[in-house]
Amino acid sequence: CDEPSGEGVNVFGFFQPKFEYNQNEGIDDSNTFNFNRARIGAMGSIPYDFSYYMVLETSPSKNNGTPYLLDAFVTYSRYDFARLSFGSFKSPISLELNTPCHKLHTINRSRVVEQLATPDRDRGFMVLGGADTTLFQYSLAITNGTGLFQNDDNKRKDYAARLVTNPHKNLKIGASYKFGKATAAVDGMPEDERTRYGADLQYKQGAFMLQAEYLYAKDVGSYTTGGGCGEPIEVHQGDIKRDGMFVMGMYKFQNNLQPVLKFEYFDSNKDVDSNTEYCTTYGLNYFFNDWTKIQANYVYRAEKEKEIDNDIFMLQVTVKF
Amino acid sequence: CDEPSGEGVNVFGFFQPKFEYNQNEGIDDSNTFNFNRARIGAMGSIPYDFSYYMVLETSPSKNNGTPYLLDAFVTYSRYDFARLSFGSFKSPISLELNTPCHKLHTINRSRVVEQLATPDRDRGFMVLGGADTTLFQYSLAITNGTGLFQNDDNKRKDYAARLVTNPHKNLKIGASYKFGKATAAVDGMPEDERTRYGADLQYKQGAFMLQAEYLYAKDVGSYTTGGGCGEPIEVHQGDIKRDGMFVMGMYKFQNNLQPVLKFEYFDSNKDVDSNTEYCTTYGLNYFFNDWTKIQANYVYRAEKEKEIDNDIFMLQVTVKF
Amino acid sequence: CDEPSGEGVNVFGFFQPKFEYNQNEGIDDSNTFNFNRARIGAMGSIPYDFSYYMVLETSPSKNNGTPYLLDAFVTYSRYDFARLSFGSFKSPISLELNTPCHKLHTINRSRVVEQLATPDRDRGFMVLGGADTTLFQYSLAITNGTGLFQNDDNKRKDYAARLVTNPHKNLKIGASYKFGKATAAVDGMPEDERTRYGADLQYKQGAFMLQAEYLYAKDVGSYTTGGGCGEPIEVHQGDIKRDGMFVMGMYKFQNNLQPVLKFEYFDSNKDVDSNTEYCTTYGLNYFFNDWTKIQANYVYRAEKEKEIDNDIFMLQVTVKF
């Protein structure tokens, strides 16, 4: 059928021009104008029970500036307790990963989420149920486990699940789990395994909100590092246990100013001492209107071993359409 | 003029998340979630006699995941018997190539069309006439012959033509022809030549449809292989003659289920024996509505010489907007 | 907020299929169908004082065929005398650079603008004031100076300014200035410097229009060449002074035919003789309607030293939506 679907196509997107000032240990500071995210896509409903969502990431600061298909899924939503999605989508683990990118309270996600809730998007099949108003919400996904760009090369799939309960109107408690096997990075070895556990909570009281999240990761055979803050991704051989968490509080004043304070740590190897990184983010958000905001973040990065100059100041405008 | 054109811009597209299970001769089977096509674009009319069409392919499984401009043409349509298009568009040869990708009856096109009706898209100038309701329809194109990505490096162009006649309301018979010259792949040789002939028919009777198509290719100087099923394209020196065909039947039941059966062969060198490939596709399509369908295909690939394990099972959802 | 912004999203774009015939000194002539620009994007207003603009370049003839984010900026426009833009945008220097690409009077910009008004787009912050109807219009920009793809690697920014005065309803006079410092291309040297001056005028009388523009460039430490006409960009060490100009006249007849005549020269090194290039463009534009036009250009390229065969004929259709 060449007619557009009954309810029309909605074009949507958002982009985030940013100014960033970096301390660089040993050399001069630098600053640059760049982009965080820059997305454009289409979504809509198809009577009676289908919907679709397709969005491209076009930021020059992601994927070497080459645009790519980010989320693209079709959803069958006849049953609210079991909606089915097929395509590419965010992994259903972690509170902060599942906060939409244009609604994040700090400019960057926390380091533990960037490092351990990977791949942030994957291809496969998902079942979802519940809503913000129900006692429980859940998501279950079967995915390749190889992210957006690569096909799977074996019959093993990754399994991820997230359950959120809403015991009181002010409180949400979440639990996440993920398990996957992959072809061994070393020939002749048994398959590599990746396990993730997570727990999180969100408490809202009037204009105040508190979020906290803990993630634990156990990798057998091989593991990846990097990927966050523009670092390249590296695959390493060997077993590793890692964890980290963040606690974040914010208060939105009636003049639309919202100070944010976030503490986080990330232990990049639980069998080694003195490698834990601590980050404190001092943030100030200002909401011009429902579609436009500006965020200022000062990120103080503390090293356990020996303090180095690597703090960051960022100023970012988000415009949503 | 900064006003949008009189009749508005229509955003359109479709995408096809897919599950694929592959037999791999000699090693373990594998399966993966991937995407077939993922397209988004804009089209519209400009009073009184112009229209435009522009669409990007954004599938992570095409062109190494880098989006690219697929079709982009402007059409002058004052005269129904000679509409003029300028830009990039599908080559006007082959019945199956000219079936829109979201309306294909099987998930993949047949091998002979993927191998011989190349490049599937090209840049140049086209004249078209007629419609589904007229006795004749025709298309004539002058193109680079180098596909979507490369400029032509000489003054030779490719010429393609297709004529479809509709002698009875149930029957369409088509004929295709293409001829082009290119700079010789071997220095000092005369120019390389490519010739294509094709014949096809389509018969509809109520819920039943039959399609058949034959393509013949003669290459002098050099020829290309691959390009289908995700294989890389290779250029080879020498002359070659190749051909192939498919026959496909389907029946759409009132419950929106449509079984499909397709036989095809492809002879990759008519001067060599025992290289012909035979493919049988057992398909089942289900139409949720005019914009959403699911297709299951089992592709049995038979080798003349010695049977190997290379069958494929695919499950694909198409959502059109 | 997941609602679309109050005033809706406008999808817009344009594309330019082109036929080009090239003389090639020493070897056979060649011709090809290709694309000049092919853009698609979204723009809109957000009540009460914001607007956004985001557009992708998708032409297969730019950036090796890989689409990229071109302009993307958000504007705060409460005060007409000082609108603020943040993101990526055209450098506010040069009359011809700041003529929208789909409204150019010749198919290509002049060589001096392509070579000296670089990078044509940059990331940063801009202040603009005035309109076509006011006595003065101005733009002031602070940018990386590194173009659309690279982050800045130091604290130095580029400063660009443009002032246009409208002393008579038929006349506009413009002046442009740009200055930037960059990390030295040679280690241990002081920072490289780039300076640009420009002057231009536009005179309109009924159907007749005259434009003229002069640009002067002084580079200390290093400079770039290429970038125009599909040539690769090269960085060279050393100091250089370059300049050039164009004069262009056109007349639009009542039958929508518009002949254009353009003279230009470009001196690629003012300390060297006999390197100046002269170009004469004989153009004919025909406007089918407000959104569709066809342009024919014959470009005669004269060399001071020794005439070589390098003339170009181009035929281009522009369709805007």
Please give the pLDDT value at position A16. Answer: 98
- In this prediction, what percent of chain C has a pLDDT beyond 90? 74
Query: Three-state SS string across chain A, please?
Result: CCCCCCCCCEEEEEEEEEEEEECCCCCCCEEEEEEEEEEEEEEEEECCCEEEEEEEECCCCCHHHCCEEEEEEEEECCCCCCEEEEEEEECCCCCCCCCCHHHCCCCCCCHHHHHHCCCCEEEEEEEEECCCCCCEEEEEEEECCCCCCCCCCCCCCEEEEEEEEEEECCEEEEEEEEEEEECCCCCCCCCEEEEEEEEEEEEEECCEEEEEEEEEEEEECEEEECCHHHCCCEEEECCEEEEEEEEEEEECCCCCEEEEEEEEEEECCCCCCCCCEEEEEEEEEEEEECCEEEEEEEEEEEECCCCCCCCEEEEEEEEEC
- Say which range, A38-42, A154-158, A304-308, B47-51, has the weakest mean pLDDT: A304-308
Please give the pLDDT value at position A64. Answer: 87
Please give the pLDDT value at position C5. Answer: 58
Do A55 and A40 form a contact (C-beta atoms < 8 A)? yes
Please give the pLDDT value at position B5. Answer: 58
**Average pLDDT of the segment spanning B109-125:** 93
Please give the pLDDT value at position C302. Answer: 84
- When CB atoms are compared, the residue of C9, C42, C69 closest to A60 is C69
Query: What span, in angstroms and rounded, lies between the C-alpha atoms of C126 and C88?
Result: 10
Domains of chain B in start order, with CATH, are: 72-307 (2.40.160.10)
Is residue A43 over pLDDT 60?
A: yes
- When CB atoms are compared, the residue of A46, A66, A88 closest to B291 is A46
The answer to whether the Cβ–Cβ distance between B65 and A9 falls below 8 Å is no
Q: How far is CA A84 from the centre of its chain?
A: 21
Residue A229: pLDDT band (50, 70, 90) is very low
Cβ-based contacts of B290 with chain A (< 8 Å): 1, 3, 5
Minimal Cα distance from A143: which residue of B? B33
- Say which range, B205-209, C33-37, C253-257, C275-279, has the weakest mean pLDDT: C275-279
Residue B1: pLDDT band (50, 70, 90) is very low
Residue A308: pLDDT band (50, 70, 90) is confident
Cβ-based contacts of A29 with chain C (< 8 Å): 155
For residue C116, report the phi and psi dihedrals to the nearest 5 degrees: -105, -25
The answer to whether the Cβ–Cβ distance between A30 and C152 falls below 8 Å is yes
Torsion of CA B116, B119, B123, B128, to 10 degrees: 30
Q: What is the pLDDT of residues C165-214, one digit of tens each?
A: 999 999 999 999 999 998 887 888 888 999 999 999 999 999 999 999 99
Q: What is the pLDDT of residues A79-92, one digit of tens each?
A: 999 999 999 999 99
ipTM higher than threshold 0.90: yes
Is residue A303 over pLDDT 90?
A: no
**Average pLDDT of the segment spanning A265-271:** 94
Residue A319, both tokens: 């415009």
On average, the pLDDT of chain A sits at 92
Do C44 and A319 form a contact (C-beta atoms < 8 A)? no
Is residue B265 over pLDDT 70?
A: yes
**Average pLDDT of the segment spanning B60-77:** 94
**B 15-54 residues with CB < 8 A to A:** 15, 17, 19, 28-35, 38, 40
**Average pLDDT of the segment spanning A97-121:** 94
Query: What span, in angstroms and rounded, lies between the C-alpha atoms of A233 and A225?
Result: 6
Give me the amino acid identity at A133: T
Residue B38, both tokens: 């993922």
Greater model confidence, C19 or C24 = C19
Is residue A6 over pLDDT 60?
A: no
Query: What span, in angstroms and rounded, lies between the C-alpha atoms of B259 and B286?
Result: 9
Please give the pLDDT value at position A73. Answer: 98
Q: Nearest CA of chain B to the CA of C284: how many Å?
A: 19
**Average pLDDT of the segment spanning B206-220:** 97
For residue C111, report the phi and psi dihedrals to the nearest 5 degrees: -65, -40
Query: What span, in angstroms and rounded, lies between the C-alpha atoms of B30 and B49?
Result: 52
Please give the pLDDT value at position C231. Answer: 55
C62, C291, C315: which to substitute to probe chain B, counting the most B Cβ within 10 Å? C291
**Average pLDDT of the segment spanning A131-157:** 91
Q: What is the pLDDT of residues C269-293, one digit of tens each?
A: 999 988 898 999 999 999 999 999 9
On average, the pLDDT of chain B sits at 92
Is residue A4 over pLDDT 60?
A: no
The answer to whether the Cβ–Cβ distance between B33 and A152 falls below 8 Å is yes
Query: What span, in angstroms and rounded, lies between the C-alpha atoms of B122 and B286?
Result: 33
**Average pLDDT of the segment spanning C127-140:** 94
Cβ-based contacts of B41 with chain C (< 8 Å): 40
The answer to whether the Cβ–Cβ distance between A148 and B59 falls below 8 Å is no
**Average pLDDT of the segment spanning B276-301:** 95
Task: List all residues 6 or more positions away from B42 whose beta carbon is below 8 Å from its beta carbon.
Answer: B9, B10, B11, B12, B52, B54, B55, C11, C13, C40, C321
The answer to whether the Cβ–Cβ distance between A74 and B292 falls below 8 Å is yes
Query: What span, in angstroms and rounded, lies between the C-alpha atoms of C108 and C247?
Result: 14
Please give the pLDDT value at position C3. Answer: 59
Q: What is the DSSP letter of C109?
A: -
Cβ-based contacts of A30 with chain C (< 8 Å): 152-155
The number of CA neighbours under 13 Å toward the Cβ of A28 is 8
Of A171-175, B149-153, B183-187, which has the strongest mean pLDDT?
A: A171-175
Query: What span, in angstroms and rounded, lies between the C-alpha atoms of B73 and C281?
Result: 26
- Say which range, A183-187, A238-242, A261-265, C256-260, has the weakest mean pLDDT: A183-187
On average, the pLDDT of chain C sits at 92
Rounded CA Rg of chain A = 20
The answer to whether the Cβ–Cβ distance between A34 and C123 falls below 8 Å is yes
Please give the pLDDT value at position A290. Answer: 93
- In this prediction, what percent of chain A has a pLDDT beyond 90? 74
Query: What span, in angstroms and rounded, lies between the C-alpha atoms of C19 and A139?
Result: 53
Cβ-based contacts of C5 with chain A (< 8 Å): 290-291, 320-321
| Local structure of C134: helix, strand or coil | coil
Is residue B208 over pLDDT 50?
A: yes
A40, A45, A56, A102: which to substitute to probe chain C, counting the most C Cβ within 10 Å? A40
Query: What span, in angstroms and rounded, lies between the C-alpha atoms of A270 and B314?
Result: 43
